Amino acid sequence: MSDIGITALLIVSLFLILGSGVWIGLTLSGVAWIGMQLFSSRPAGDAMAVTIWGSASSWTLTALPLFVWMGEILFRTRLSQDMFRGLAPWMQALPGRLLHVNVVGCTIFAAVSGSSAATCATIGKMSLPELARRGYPDGISIGSLAGAGTLGLLIPPSIIMIVYGVTAEVSISQLFIAGVLPGLMLAGLFSGYLMFWAWRHPHLVPPADAPLSLREKLRESRHLLPVVGLIVAVLGSIYSGIATATEAAAVGVVGSLVISAAQGSMNWITFKESLLGGVRLYCMIALILAGAAFLTLSMGYIGLPRHLAEWIATLGLSKFELLLALMLFYILLGCFLDGISMVVLTMGVIMPTVQKAGIDPLWFGIFVVLVVEMAQITPPVGFNLFVLQGMTQRDIGWIARVTLPFFFLMIAAVGLIYLFPGIVTALPRQMMG
């Protein structure tokens, strides 16, 4: 059977099993088993057991459940309300006023939560009712939150970066460092758009609150101290080389428990709910990763990634054309799959092609995170759209429409890191000497 025939058979099997409602992790394992059983001489059962055990017991992966748990603990604290109180006085002077709280709040919360959906839900829980009460239009409030919520993936610590680091064998600490400048750049683009929107629609921006003196602003800013302290503890320990990503995640969990206890929101029920929420999410991710590891092994035995890389090489695509094709491919894939599934499904096949084209795997990791961010706000399977639909009861099509400008800003961000790759690579090089 030809490579095209084998690929077609596996893709059809994948979508048939997914369409029948089977979990993604089990689907990946099933397709890998079919491929190995039919087109390879290695016994599929033995390979499946060894690969899934190896994937599940990976030390690198231990950072993931800890960062997930940290996000779950913080989601149940008063942190988001405190952040609004600390940020609002400083935003009044900017065009667009309190709309910037969505962007700045998501940027700050993203630095202590690795999840886009958690960032979107936590900041939205605080900002949307407050913005509506003050008279800000729903469209720009919800659109800016959906866009800025995706920063949860790009600004470290990031669940998707850990998944990419494990599947593509790239240093997670270096990926975290590489995500800082692109994350701040994207936040800057979002804030810039809000200023432009406010300039175009001055009549839709409510008047500013009574001005506060510098001393009063600084007094309100004390509410930001817990979250800033946690960011310094988690990211500072990684960047200074004191701790690995896993050790920093443990620091983050302890810090978030301390903040929760200090705010009085930590009790046995909250602790149990946060722990169970973290376990549920991690088990889902771990099952997908285990299935993907087996699928990657199966593809390797069949020889599909090598043949695909050779076929793409014969097309004579330039680096720009290859990246453009991959961006369109991921945006399309994002209409049907969540970000983690997209990364683990494709890395085994795409990485050989990317390396053959001379693309830096570290830079490519940030590129992938950016295009996966776009997938978070593309219907019908945009996770941030689902979160906001649940919070606002609005139609998902309407939410997608008001989020569209932020989708285009992400495309602009991809263009900027392509033209100026130093935005991604300068900081890791400097940190690692």
Burial of 203 from C-beta contacts in 10 A (0-12 / 13-18 / 19+): exposed
On the question of pLDDT at 39 being above 60, the answer is yes
On the question of pLDDT at 405 being above 80, the answer is yes
Q: What pLDDT, on the 0 to 100 scale, is given for residue 279?
A: 86
Burial of 194 from C-beta contacts in 10 A (0-12 / 13-18 / 19+): buried
Separation of alpha carbons 158 and 150, rounded Å: 11
Give the mean pLDDT of 281-302.
Answer: 79
Instruction: Give residue-wise pLDDT tens across range 184-209.
Output: 999 999 999 999 999 998 888 888 77
On the question of pLDDT at 421 being above 90, the answer is yes
Residues 6+ apart with CB under 8 A from 335: 375, 378, 379, 380, 381
Which is higher by pLDDT, 387 or 401? 401
Q: Determine how many CB atoms are found less than 10 A away from the CB of residue 408.
A: 13
Cβ proximity of 314 and 47 under 8 Å:
no
On the question of pLDDT at 223 being above 90, the answer is no
Fill in the amino acid letter for 32. Answer: A
Separation of alpha carbons 130 and 74, rounded Å: 20
Q: What pLDDT, on the 0 to 100 scale, is given for residue 368?
A: 93
Q: What pLDDT, on the 0 to 100 scale, is given for residue 309?
A: 64
* Lookup: tokens for 356: 């053959």
What's the whole-model pTM score?
A: 0.79
Fill in the amino acid letter for 279. Answer: V
**Residue 306 — pLDDT band, cuts 50, 70, 90?**
low
From residue 368, alpha-carbon distances to 58, 153, 213 in Å are 22, 11, 44
Cα Rg for the chain, rounded, in angstroms? 22
From residue 129, alpha-carbon distances to 112, 140, 216, 422 in Å are 23, 14, 24, 39
Residue ranges with strand state E in 105-167 = none
Residue ranges per structural domain of the chain:
24-32+41-431
Fill in the amino acid letter for 299. Answer: M
Fill in the amino acid letter for 196. Answer: F
Cβ proximity of 162 and 61 under 8 Å:
yes
Provide the mean pLDDT of the chain: 83
Cβ proximity of 277 and 73 under 8 Å:
no
Q: What pLDDT, on the 0 to 100 scale, is given for residue 420?
A: 94
